[in-house]
Amino acid sequence: MTSKAIAPGKIILFGEHFVVHGTRAIVCAIDKRVTVSSEKNDTAGISITSSLGNATIPITEKVNNVDKKFRPFFHLAKKIINQNDVKNGVNIEIESDIPIGAGLGSSSACCVAAAASISGLFSKPENDKVIELAIDAERTIFPKTSGADCTVSALGGIIEYQKDSGYNAIQIEHDFNLIVVNSQNPHNTDMVVNRVNQYKNDNEESFTDMCKEEDNLITKAISSLQNFDLQTIGKCMSQNQIFLERIGVSNDQLLDIVKSVEKETFGAKITGAGDGGCVIALTENSKKDSVVEKIGAEYETYTVTIEKTGMQVNITN
């Protein structure tokens, strides 16, 4: 029996970093995906294969002793095996077309697809259970994650997310043309989140004010998304970029990209942790090819569409 699961990557439209501190975020799934295939084996080991390497680890190994690149998958497999009270291991194979360390949700999509695929070997995976397992697995390498990325990867579409109260789907009738510009400088999300935490500790009052401003911005962004008011969405993105600059997650290169793309589009901002990774911009359908061509002369640039479907699982015997 093979259990194969697919999960999409994501972009954060509004609210990255602030979401870790309790503010809302708007997150959407994109048409880049991870596929994870799992099978039971008749050994006492968990085998993991991905573009980052291969490992076979005894089920009895402690999660914290496992190399970080395999840890979330080992943690998931061990947990699901123990919950189902079986003694044998599983083989897990991960394939991805989401760039790593670019802020496009590669690690979360891997956790979601792995949670769905391994669970599928034992019972029908339900969305909320997969989200819970995936966030728990991601926390083995990134303890402060807000859970926004795993949640949207499991659900698809566009969601409003808050760490403590969960998610609401945002119903959108139109397609949006989003451009992604990859700085090709990978970032370490955990490190950038810790840096913002330090900023918050050093600037309590202004950080609290910014969280309130971000929340107001999100209210405005939700209604402009629903009204397909591209001008206002773009302005909100540029305002969000200013907040991200204030908390120190931008840099000269990202600012340079934002300024160049902004001239050609409704608005642009960093997406995800920042300090590298990608910039996103909102454009019109009729302009998207010329923007990609122009910015693409200097940076890897492509369009993404919003993926309406979240994780999907297929079991074959």
Q: Give the binding range for ligand MEV (CB under 6 A) out of 12-20, 34-42, 78-86, 234-242.
A: 12-20
Nearer to ligand MEV, 99 or 272 (CB): 272
- Backbone dihedral angles phi then psi of residue 92, each to the nearest 5 degrees: -125, 130
Residues whose CB is less than 8 angstroms from the CB of residue 110 and which lie 6 or more positions away in sequence, other chains included = 7, 34, 36, 50, 72, 73, 94, 96
Q: Give the binding range for ligand MEV (CB under 6 A) out of 92-100, 144-152, 177-185, 253-261.
A: 144-152
Task: Work out whether 102 is an interface residue with ligand MEV (CB under 6 A).
Answer: no
The distance of closest approach from Cβ of residue 273 to ligand MEV in the complex, given in angstroms and rounded to an integer, is 4
Query: Where in 16-45 is the site for ligand MEV (CB under 6 A)?
Result: 16-17, 19-20
Nearer to ligand MEV, 16 or 160 (CB): 16
Task: Work out whether 146 is an interface residue with ligand MEV (CB under 6 A).
Answer: yes
Contact 207, 213 (CB under 8 A): no
The distance of closest approach from Cβ of residue 24 to ligand MEV in the complex, given in angstroms and rounded to an integer, is 11
Query: Where in 164-203 is the site for ligand MEV (CB under 6 A)?
Result: 189, 193
Q: Which of 89, 120, 272, 310 binds ligand MEV (CB under 6 A)?
A: 272
Task: Work out whether 131 is an interface residue with ligand MEV (CB under 6 A).
Answer: no
Query: Where in 194-253 is the site for ligand MEV (CB under 6 A)?
Result: none
> In DSSP terms, which residues pair with 14 in a beta bridge?
26
Closest to 278 measured CA to CA, from 253, 246, 307? 253
Residue with the shortest CB distance to ligand MEV: 146
Residue type, 95: E
Which residues lie near ligand MEV (CB under 6 A)?
Answer: 12, 16-17, 19-20, 103, 145-146, 148-149, 189, 193, 272-273
